[in-house]
Amino acid sequence: MKRSIPLAICLIMGITMMIQFFVPHPASVAFFELTAKWVRIIGAFALVLGTGSLVMYHIDKIQRRRTGWYYSIVTLIAAVITTVIGLGWGIKSGSIFQNVIFSNLMVPLNASMFAILAFYMASAAYRAFRARTKEAALLLVAAFIVMLGMVPIGAHVPFFWFMVVVNVALLVVGLVNRSKALLIGAGALVVGLLAWLGFSGFKVPQLMLPDTAEWVLSVPNMAAKRAIQFGVALGGIATALKVILGIERGWLGGGKQ
Amino acid sequence: MKFFHYLLKIDRRIIYLIVGLLVMLPLIKPLGLGVSSGPRAKALFDAIDAVPAGKTILISVDFDPSSMPELYPMLTAVMRHAFAKNLKVLLCGLWVTGAGLADRAATEIPPEFGKKYGEDVVYLGWKAGIDAVILGMGENIKNVFPVDYNGRPLDSMPMMNTVKQLRDIPIVFAISAGTPGYQDWLLYAQSRYGMRVGAGMTAVSAADAYPYLQSGQLTGMLAGMKGGAEYEVLVQKAGYSKAYMPAVAAMDSQSLAHIVILILVIIGNIAYFVTRKRGA
């Protein structure tokens, strides 16, 4: 009973809402508006549950003196102060909540946290971004094109000269490591660049890095993303059908039948 | 040899210092590299520019303060464009932590153009439910938001007499730092109510939007701070605003930050290959 009622609600509502989507009759629209209200109300309850769960988790962490338990005290104090100020004096423009808690605490703290990422990324890229394999080298070149192409300085870099530099790097690394694959790659790139130069009447082609970055994002990136999104969408439809038909019951949680 | 080993083990604080200095210097003394507008920003600009005066555009502020430096400039630039074109702006948000940011924009930008709250701009605030909120707005905005962010009834605002549901709004510009965001507007507002959707997003998530651009679902896109800078330039070139352009000002720093990361990666690779060769 504990499971069969939710399963029945899920089945009936799932099928009804699927049909409703294709029926523009006023009764169907009114029904949709009603269910949309229900969803928002349930969403509000989920917020209450989420807050309760957060408080219980941190109280438990403090009681058991788990690693970093003192941070939980800060979290709870911050939650209480924010709630008291928000409920007591409101969240309107110019309120204490807006001026002090949001603008002078949350905004600078959050922005600083995110800004620190630039430093970590620079350090991590320096230590870990290595052209160890062919795939990694390809990724490195694509990353260079997109990173430079997405900032104004990239507009001053012709793609041709960029590839000449890449070619020299390939050649040097190939010679130092005596890697046949890299030397063959460098040779092929030389042929390609010379052919490109020939087709352009021996004038350096005017294709700039932002154009190349746009191509990288619009063609190979988009093909991969689209494939992933198709997969995700089909997976989503399959999962939704399994939930509606009661095959997938993970959402019911544990407990007895 | 020792030198290359030293390079591989360089103290991370030295890297932090180099990055910090190179990001700060152009903010103090700009390099003036200039920003040119790409086709994605131009498409969004043209779409908003084509909206007839007096109509309302919707801006969904779906980001929080952590993405504010990257995304807030595009919010202000699009609002300036809209007000200069005598469009009305309806603001809402799907991120509770971003509610204050939209409020700040709704307070700061309209007075620059002599626009009044309630007549030319309304900020609805945030409501739980995400997709249900969008779908609900599609049927009746006042059902979902009977009052605005500051608790004033929507019925008391002249602007809301002409905007009842999403079909009354020609375009939504969703500025997203993740989920929920522009994809929800595409899924629900566009597929069900036929709204045009333009998107702004962090540079790191721009790659995800390309399939939607190619399919024509997204009208235009502003990717990261550069997208904001491109829009600021478009607005200023069209003579709509002479306001300070924060994204343009920050682009020199971003250029140098990218270059320093690339140089670090190149140095790291050289050191790696030389030491690997000697080691072998």
- Residue B280 has a pLDDT of 52
- Residue A255 has a pLDDT of 59
Amino acid identity of B187? L
What is d(CA A61, CA A67) in angstroms, rounded to the nearest whole number? 8
The stretches in chain B having pLDDT less than 70 are 277-280
Residue from A83, A146, A150, A228 whose CB has the most chain B CBs within 10 Å, to mutate: A150
Give residue A69's pLDDT band: very low, low, confident or very high (50, 70, 90): very high
Residue whose token pair is 């549950």: A49
What is d(CA B181, CA B134) in angstroms, rounded to the nearest whole number? 11
What is d(CA B74, CA B101) in angstroms, rounded to the nearest whole number? 12
List CB contacts of B158: < 8 A, sequence separation 6 or more: B118, B119
Please state the length of chain B: 280
**Is A119's Cβ below 8 Å from some Cβ in B?**
yes
DSSP type of residue A130:
-
> Quick one: which of B82, B38, B41, B75 has its CA closest to B60?
B75
**Is A39's Cβ below 8 Å from some Cβ in B?**
yes
- Residue A135 has a pLDDT of 87
Residue whose token pair is 């595009």: B74
Listed by number, the residues of chain B in 159-188 with a beta carbon closer than 8 Å to a beta carbon of chain A are: none
Q: Is A180 left (phi over 0), alpha (psi -120 to 50) or beta?
A: alpha
Residue from B141, B147, B210, B221 whose CB has the most chain A CBs within 10 Å, to mutate: B210
**Is A176's Cβ below 8 Å from some Cβ in B?**
yes
Chain B residue closest in CA terms to A213 = B207
Chain B residues touching A32 at Cβ < 8 A:
135, 139
Are residues A221 and B66, on separate chains, in Cβ contact within 8 Å? no
What is d(CA B277, CA B272) in angstroms, rounded to the nearest whole number? 9
> Quick one: which of B6, B48, B92, B36 has its CA closest to B240?
B48
Two structure tokens written together for B260: 């320093």
Query: How far lies A96's CA from each of A87, A91, A227, in Å?
Result: 11, 8, 48
Residue from A126, A133, A147 whose CB has the most chain B CBs within 10 Å, to mutate: A126
What is d(CA B122, CA B152) in angstroms, rounded to the nearest whole number? 10
Give residue A91's pLDDT band: very low, low, confident or very high (50, 70, 90): confident
Under DSSP, is residue A158 helix (H, G, I), strand (E, B) or coil? strand
> Quick one: which of A173, A248, A115, A112 has its CA closest to B19?
A115
What is d(CA A213, CA A162) in angstroms, rounded to the nearest whole number? 12
Q: What is the CA radius of gyration of chain A?
A: 29
What is d(CA B190, CA B184) in angstroms, rounded to the nearest whole number? 9
- Residue A187 has a pLDDT of 86
**Strand-pair partners of B58:** B90, B172
B39-243: what fold? Answer: Rossmann fold (3.40.50)
Q: Are B15 and A123 contacting, i.e. CB atoms less than 8 angstroms apart?
A: yes
**Strand-pair partners of B166:** none
- Residue B134 has a pLDDT of 93
Please state the length of chain A: 257
Under DSSP, is residue A254 helix (H, G, I), strand (E, B) or coil? coil
pLDDT tens across A138-154, in order? 899 899 999 998 888 88
ipTM value: 0.84
Omega within 30 of 0 (cis) for the link into B180: yes
Query: Residue A93 is inside which H or E element, if any?
Result: none
**Is A98's Cβ below 8 Å from some Cβ in B?**
yes
Of A36, A110, A115, nearest to B136 by CB-CB distance is A36
What is d(CA A72, CA B151) in angstroms, rounded to the nearest whole number? 33
DSSP type of residue A200:
T
pLDDT tens across B163-197, in order? 999 999 999 999 999 999 999 999 999 998 999 99
What is d(CA A30, CA A101) in angstroms, rounded to the nearest whole number? 40
Two structure tokens written together for B218: 């997204």
Of A109, A144, A155, nearest to B36 by CB-CB distance is A155
CB atoms within 10 A of CB A41: 13
Q: Are B68 and A107 contacting, i.e. CB atoms less than 8 angstroms apart?
A: yes
- Residue B278 has a pLDDT of 63
String of DSSP letters for chain B: -HHHHHHHT--HHHHHHHHHHHHHHHHHS---------HHHHHHHHHHHTSPTT-EEEEEEE--GGGHHHHHHHHHHHHHHHHHTT-EEEEEES-GGGHHHHHHHHHHSGGGGT--BTTTEEEEEE-TTTHHHHHHHHH-HHHH-SB-TTS-BGGG-GGGGT--SGGG-SEEEEEESSSSSHHHIIIIIIHHH--EEEEEE-GGGGGGGHHHHHTT-EEEEEEHHHHHHHHHHHHHHTTS-----HHHHHHHHHHHHHHHHHHHHHHHHHHHHHHHHHH-
CB atoms within 10 A of CB A28: 15
What is d(CA B77, CA B68) in angstroms, rounded to the nearest whole number? 14
